[in-house]
Amino acid sequence: MDNACCAFTSPHFLATQAGMDVLQRGGSAIDAMIAAAAMIAVAYPHMNGLGGDSFWLVHQPGQDPWAIDASGCAAAAATPKWYAERSLQEIPARGPAAALTMAGTVSGWQLARQLWSEKNGDAANLPLQELLAPAADKATAGIAVTDSLAAASAKVAAELQGAAAYQQVFTRSGAQLQAGEQFNNPALGGLLHELGAKGLQEFYRGAIGQRLAQALQNEGSPLSVDDFAAYEAKQVEPLVASIRHGQVYNLPAPTQGFASLLLLACYDRLAAANWQEADAIHAIIECTKHAFVLREQWLADPDQVPVELQAQLRDSALATAAAKVDLGQVADWPQVTPGGDTVWMGARDKSGVMVSFIQSLYWEFGSGVVVPEYGLVWNNRGSSFTLDAGIRQLGAGRKPFHTLNPALLLHNDSSRIAFGTMGGEGQPQTQAAMMMRHLYLGESLERSVARPRWLLGRTWGDADHGLKAEEDLDADILSALGKRGHDITLVPAQSEAMGHAGMVKDDAQGGIDAATDPRSDGLALTSG
């Protein structure tokens, strides 16, 4: 590999620029991703932030990929009894009772730096202040409100009208944010500067953590200072599945990484050389249905998963799973499934380290609970728990089910691809769509990411569980899918509802490429 090559992609150009700046100064892909994660928390505050969660998938040449689970656990006080005492029959999506899980992403940044230092020496990391300062300064100076941020602000305006802290930070005296205007969040800038100076552990076990816990308690959240002090992100073993092109990696439970791997691996075992694109899309849709049924049965807090997930990804199990997918008919799809919202980013540094990373609040603006002192909004990931008996039942210390899942392919030809997307249900499907177009149809990264997509189920903030397709999907493909029995609702071309996808690829000859989604405000950069 050409050691001078590096790349970064994200759904917001400011994050890409922040990450690439670190890479060009000789920083690692780990450092670059932390700088970008802080910046995109500033630029896309409706989708992600320090009050949310993240997952890491990292590959260092010559080693096995490793992963970090930086998702939060339910508060010690968060039990079905706690909700019953407040006359709540279900966990709400918004408000203090939705802010029930710890925010894990900052601990994930810390663990990534720690693991990188352990593997490569204490001098392997750039100073934390240098990584966080650009985002801190930008939060104070202000960002231009994107169409995405403006649309999310309009969407939650009525729902969060009575949330005083949200109104204080994310509106202008009650007026929702408008595309193109400046949005300043100096409190978030101050928080990032303080974390840079004092260390990321301050978010959980220092004065910052104490003030955050008190603010959340004052709002009525079950989270306490003890929950903050007890939380730590964890290194986890990624799941892996074989396809004809190589090995695909993703995150274990509580994410839907298993479903993404199962979907792609089943498709791989069904795909024929003479297929047209309509055949491929039909197969992916039907494989999606099978993967999602198992996802709803099996995926939850790791301690609640009833099967060994890696065993379900062995070749024999995958052959059995693929055989259950009937391509001769369209399977019914009455299931009600979860939504979600996030940002995915990918990086490759000059030493060949590649990172696939994802960070989220869950829904747009999360729980809507805002801590004005720090300018951050708390996630509502805990709303994916249920109060009823089952593997996803709320319990103290348990992790809720996550749609988040960053992916990585180690190709048989020694090339690698980091890939992923935001968008709840759309994540496994868009991952499969990108891989189908690039690996099986031979399209470029850019076309694989940009071309019209489809979605079965919900994406972020969407209540429709049916099959949707962008209206510029080829008419012949739409016709062929309709003849097979698919009932398709058309949505506008380049719809944000289809997610913000991205890819980074390198090869053994020193080639490097990156792509970002035109549906986002993103940028893909390569250097070298």
Could you tell me the two tokens for 339? 């939504």
Could you tell me the two tokens for 355? 């990172």
Distance of CA 120 to the CA centre of its chain: 27
Peptide bond into 252 cis (omega under 30): no
pLDDT at 452 over 90: yes
Could you tell me the two tokens for 166? 């949200």
pLDDT at 83 over 70: yes
Distance of CA 172 to the CA centre of its chain: 29
Distance CA 241, CA 224 (A): 39
pLDDT at 281 over 60: yes
pLDDT tens column, 408-437? 999 999 999 999 998 788 899 999 999 999
Q: Is residue 395 a contact partner of residue 79, using CB atoms and an 8 Å limit?
A: yes
Could you tell me the two tokens for 248? 């695909």
- Within a 10 A sphere around the Cβ of 296, how many other Cβ atoms? 18
Q: Is residue 388 a contact partner of residue 371, using CB atoms and an 8 Å limit?
A: no
Distance CA 136, CA 132 (A): 6
> 428 phi and psi, to 5 degrees?
-60, -40
Question: Which parts of 254-334 fold into alpha helices (H)?
Answer: 257-270, 277-298, 315-323
- Residue 4's pLDDT is 54
Distance CA 113, CA 111 (A): 5
Residues in the chain: 528
The arithmetic mean of pLDDT across residues 7-34, rounded, is: 97
Distance CA 262, CA 109 (A): 29
pLDDT tens column, 179-217? 999 999 999 999 999 999 999 999 999 999 999 999 999
Per-residue burial over 298-327, b if 16 or more Cβ lie within 10 Å, else e, is: bbbbbebbeeebbebbeeebbeebbeebee
- In the structure, what pLDDT confidence band is assigned to residue 335 with cuts at 50, 70 and 90? low
What DSSP designation does 101 have? B
> 149 phi and psi, to 5 degrees?
-65, -40
pLDDT at 133 over 80: yes
Question: Which parts of 358-487 fold into alpha helices (H)?
Answer: 426-435, 445-450, 475-483
pLDDT at 461 over 50: no
Show which residues are catalytic. Answer: 342
The arithmetic mean of pLDDT across residues 263-282, rounded, is: 96
Q: Is residue 58 a contact partner of residue 198, using CB atoms and an 8 Å limit?
A: no
pLDDT tens column, 490-511? 999 999 889 899 999 999 888 9
Could you tell me the two tokens for 59? 């590959």
pLDDT tens column, 150-188? 999 999 999 999 999 999 999 998 899 999 999 999 999
Could you tell me the two tokens for 377? 């909004």
- In the structure, what pLDDT confidence band is assigned to residue 463 with cuts at 50, 70 and 90? low
**Mean residue pLDDT across the chain:** 94
The arithmetic mean of pLDDT across residues 219-243, rounded, is: 98
- In the structure, what pLDDT confidence band is assigned to residue 1 with cuts at 50, 70 and 90? very low
Asked if CATH classification 3.60.20.40 holds for the domain at 254-340+403-522, the reply, yes or no, is yes
- In the structure, what pLDDT confidence band is assigned to residue 3 with cuts at 50, 70 and 90? very low
Give, to the nearest 10 degrees, the angle between helix 277-298 and helix 475-483: 60
pLDDT at 121 over 90: no
Q: Is residue 523 a contact partner of residue 516, using CB atoms and an 8 Å limit?
A: yes
- In the structure, what pLDDT confidence band is assigned to residue 374 with cuts at 50, 70 and 90? very high
DSSP lists the bridge partners of residue 175 as 172
Can you give the residue ranges of every domain in the chain? 6-235+341-376, 254-340+403-522
- Within a 10 A sphere around the Cβ of 237, how many other Cβ atoms? 12
- Residue 2's pLDDT is 41
Q: Is residue 25 a contact partner of residue 400, using CB atoms and an 8 Å limit?
A: no
pLDDT at 241 over 70: yes
Distances 9 to 38, 54, 421, 455, 524 between C-alpha atoms, Å = 15, 17, 11, 23, 4
- Residue 212's pLDDT is 98
Distances 275 to 100, 245, 443, 444 between C-alpha atoms, Å = 47, 17, 15, 19
- Residue 336's pLDDT is 58
Distance of CA 65 to the CA centre of its chain: 18
pLDDT tens column, 336-354? 555 556 899 999 999 999 9
Strands 6-10 and 341-348 come out as antiparallel
pLDDT tens column, 481-490? 999 999 999 9
Nearest to 260 by CA among 104, 33, 426, 96: 426
Could you tell me the two tokens for 250? 């993703």
pLDDT at 228 over 60: yes
pLDDT at 320 over 90: yes
Nearest to 32 by CA among 107, 124, 120: 124
**Which has more pLDDT, 52 or 339?**
52
- Residue 424's pLDDT is 80
Distance CA 409, CA 430 (A): 15
